[in-house]
Amino acid sequence: MTIAIILLISLLALAIVAYGSSNIHSGMFLEAFCKNNSEELLLTFDDGPDPVNTPKLLDVLDKYGVKATFFMIGEKVDMYPDVVKEVYRRGHRIGGHTYYHNPWHNFYIHRRYMDELKRAHNAFAKLGVEISDFRPPLGITTPTVSSACTRMNYKVWGWSIRSFDTMDKPREEVFARIVKRLKPGGIILLHDRMDGVAELAEKVILAIREKGLKV
């Protein structure tokens, strides 16, 4: 086997591993919940809690009687405990999103990654919130993430509709992208750290109902 062929095979193997790591839908390292089995669409929000945007969002969800899932960063849980308690009080589902939300931490050795998950878990527990759901930052999965989530007995979430709402895009473009992909059983990924998320969520809820779908 020539050096060129060996190099080509090595590059192909790295590309496959990179794809499996960055694409949570691949199922290469762990099975993630990327589509729900009901007719309803699910709204999910990452990177909170935010002291300004999350309360506004909660009011919109209440207005339409919608329950959502919030994947929160442990560090922010410690910073804004009252917001976490309010999300919980209003009956929304809460999951973990690591303690620091550093995507490179997904490549930690097992012990260090477990320490981060436990620290985030304990931040919730101090507030009387027990979590069993988890979404890795950026949807990056590795053998370490898989092993740690198994140890923590976490249900890992992905998504089927990625809004790219954190990108520098007009809100109209983000909204159009979401609406184009609306299907029964979809899981929509948004971020409650972003300004305007409450208004965007309201438009999405109305669009879902206008299509005769449920949320």
Whether 101 is catalytic is no
Q: In angstroms, how far is CA 72 from the centroid of its own chain?
A: 9
Residue tagged active-site, from 46, 50, 165, 192: 46
Distance in angstroms (rounded) separating the CA atoms of residues 68 and 108: 30
Q: Which 3 state secondary structure label does DSSP give 16?
A: helix
Calpha distance 116→107 (Å, rounded) = 12
* Contact (CB, 8 A) for 93 and 133: yes
Q: Which residues of 60-80 are buried (b: 16+ CB within 10 A; e: fewer)?
A: bbeeeebebbbbbbbbbbbeb
Residues 213/184, Cβ–Cβ less than 8 Å: yes
b (16+ CB within 10 A) / e for 87-105? bbeeebbbbbbbbbbeeeb
Active site residue 25: no
Catalytic residue among 92, 101, 105, 191: 191
How far apart are the C-alpha atoms of 85 and 32, rounded to whole Å?
27
Catalytic residues: 46, 191
